[in-house]
Amino acid sequence: MKNIVAIAIGAFFGAVCRFFISQLSLGSFPFTTLFINVVGSFVLCFVAEITVEHIKISTALRHMITTGFISSFTTFSTFVLEIVRFLMKGEFTAAVIYPLLSIVLGLLASIFGFELARAVSERQQKEEYEAA
């Protein structure tokens, strides 16, 4: 039950953050969804890596961040809807560029999240070793 409550709390905050970011009007290209999905990719991979391998947190807190917050913050359905809207308006270039950018930037952000988590952990371990 504790995990379910944690997920619900995370989902609430993820959805609210997503709503506020999506209210930014940046033209006809869905930059806000792109931003949300790239940031979500980074945060998910960073948290997944650092909390499993390096920094121990409770299972409930990990679920709150990953399953709750990130899952409601990012959304594949909005991503697909925006691609379909481009296609329906005949904007084929945007319909191709947008998913490519989303995938490439999402993958790069994910890799960066993993690498940053490892670097933070290694630095922490080095400081602990030097202090001992």
List, for residues 103-125, the tens digit of each pLDDT value. Answer: 999 999 999 999 999 999 888 88
pLDDT of residue 26: 81
Copy the structure tokens of residue 88. 């329906």
Copy the structure tokens of residue 67. 């399953």
What type of residue sits at position 124?
Q
The pTM of the whole model exceeds 0.85: no
What ranges do the domains of the chain cover?
Answer: 1-131
φ, ψ for residue 60 (rounded to 5)?
-65, -40
Report d(CA 44, CA 54) in Å as an integer: 15
Query: Average pLDDT for consecutive 10-residue bins of the chain (132 residues)?
Result: 96 95 86 90 85 82 90 83 90 96 94 92 86 82
Q: Helix axis angle, 31-49 relative to 2-22, nearest 10°?
A: 150
